[in-house]
Structure 1
């Protein structure tokens, strides 16, 4: 058979939930096109049931992931960067199509995303040193504050930065021991869905990151109101949707990271790294008061 007679094997993109690759339970898909309107693929059109399943998976994974040592989480994040490096050409092509970039500019975005994973991998066992510490106390006690993860975080990935922005909002959430339910860019979800394939083979436990594609508003509204979601990153929400989601999130006092103008190519700082942390303070008696302690 000549090469002109051969039919290309098109990639089937699936969701990434609980470490597995399901299709949407609704069976729906939607067309994804490049910047010129050319068809690229059919992406799963996630339903509210898919979103609920993702929350269940994230909650199930939270105990073990938050209980892992910070050093171990850093090793796993670094392994993600290693896997991305090996699939650099694939992500370069997907980012170029998604964002209408030249191959060189898309490659620069992918390189920056890989470096971003490494950057956050290095922070896993250091963040406690900048947000925790010993506190001065008047009395025979010592008082120590330390950070703990908030829980399950719903993340609306940036709409325009399909890969570098995506990595910039996922990595800090999981680096600090949270688990994530991520809604990919509605217009350009393919790099996110491919990221799921990398995460599945990079030692990351199933359920730590769950990736959904589809209509951002359709999925974000029930996630913001979900009683087992502890925080929301509104990076990919417009002003109107963000207001609606903040109202929904208030029902169980979720932490909300509001949308803002961000240059994802710049050094990220620690804002997102510390956004989804709680502070545990332990009081411990000294001297003759005994060895018992208390915390709040």
Structure 2
């Protein structure tokens, strides 16, 4: 499948890119062999994207689970370094991301560049939070008796993320970065209509210091992949940010069957340009309370 338009300069047929999935640090095609056409706001062909299947969802969850012990066991300082490296890599590809965001969202070059710059800043912002989460969200609890009592935040595990449908890069970064900043790993279902910035971001992740499997990116039909992700027993939490309204109740019920932590979809599209606060950092953390005798 491809675009039959010829180049106005030399009469050549353009070699359009077929985007792949990002699973376990590699770029496989969908096991089903399916692709779908991605178009811009005017309906013009942009590229082919892989259409992930149920098997691809399982593979992505397995990769995220495999990567979890090492990533959650890394020091907060190290995770911050890795996130900052992602920001550095994004900075080097600003023009490419701006072109893809502009085509995907139909915005002016100036607005697209502003979104890319905000996405880079968002990575840096969360990189700075990695070694502060325990201090801000943990506590030393007053108790009666000769004991110390500490509450310590710990990562939940594997998080399924349904990426925002409208904000193809800034929104995506705003939901993925806090998940991995706190030591979780994730499987991301990219925006169905605007997947190209997410796959290009996965190319950045693959060439950064982020271990394979920490972030896995699937493109295709959200309605097809989301139910399998919600029902998967090895997924610990689910972010429904980009879930279509007609699917949300069913996804929450499927998640409840395996006792997942669920972050509900917002009623309206958030303003991703605003400072995010600690809400998403807190969303996929579990609190462990430890008691210890004094003087021991």
Q: 1:222 aligns with which of 206, 228, 233?
A: 228
Identify the residue that residue 293 of structure 2 maps to in structure 1.
285
* Cα distance in 2 for residues equivalent to 1:154 and 1:141: 38
Identify the residue that residue 101 of structure 2 maps to in structure 1.
95
**Deviation, structure 1 residue 10:** 2.1
Structure 1 residues 125-144: aligned runs within 5 Å? 125-144=131-150
Identify the residue that residue 274 of structure 1 maps to in structure 2.
282
Identify the residue that residue 247 of structure 1 maps to in structure 2.
253
Structure 1 residues 141-290: aligned runs within 5 Å? 141-260=147-266, 261=268, 262-287=270-295
User: Which structure 1 residue ranges, 5 or more long, are not aligned?
Assistant: 292-296
Identify the residue that residue 129 of structure 2 maps to in structure 1.
123
Q: Please, which moves more after superposition, 4-13 or 102-111?
A: 4-13
**Deviation, structure 1 residue 171:** 0.2
Q: 1:8 aligns with which of 14, 18, 23?
A: 14
Secondary structure, aligned partner of 1:40: strand
* Cα distance in 1 for residues equivalent to 2:160 and 2:227: 11
Identify the residue that residue 79 of structure 1 maps to in structure 2.
85
Q: TM-score, normalised by structure 2?
A: 0.95
Q: TM-score, normalised by structure 1?
A: 0.95
**Deviation, structure 1 residue 6:** 4.0
1:45 aligns with 2:51: yes
* Cα distance in 1 for residues equivalent to 2:122 and 2:265: 20
**Deviation, structure 1 residue 63:** 0.2
Identify the residue that residue 294 of structure 1 maps to in structure 2.
none
**Deviation, structure 1 residue 3:** 5.3
* Cα distance in 2 for residues equivalent to 1:23 and 1:103: 31
Secondary structure, aligned partner of 2:286: strand
Q: Deviations over 1:68-103 (max 9, x none)?
A: 000000000000000000000000000000000111
Moved >4 Å (runs of 4+): none
Q: Deviations over 1:159-181 (max 9, x none)?
A: 00011000000000000000000
Q: Deviations over 1:256-276 (max 9, x none)?
A: 000113110111111111100
User: Which structure 2 residue ranges, 5 or more long, are not aligned?
Assistant: 1-7
- Number of residue pairs matched? 287
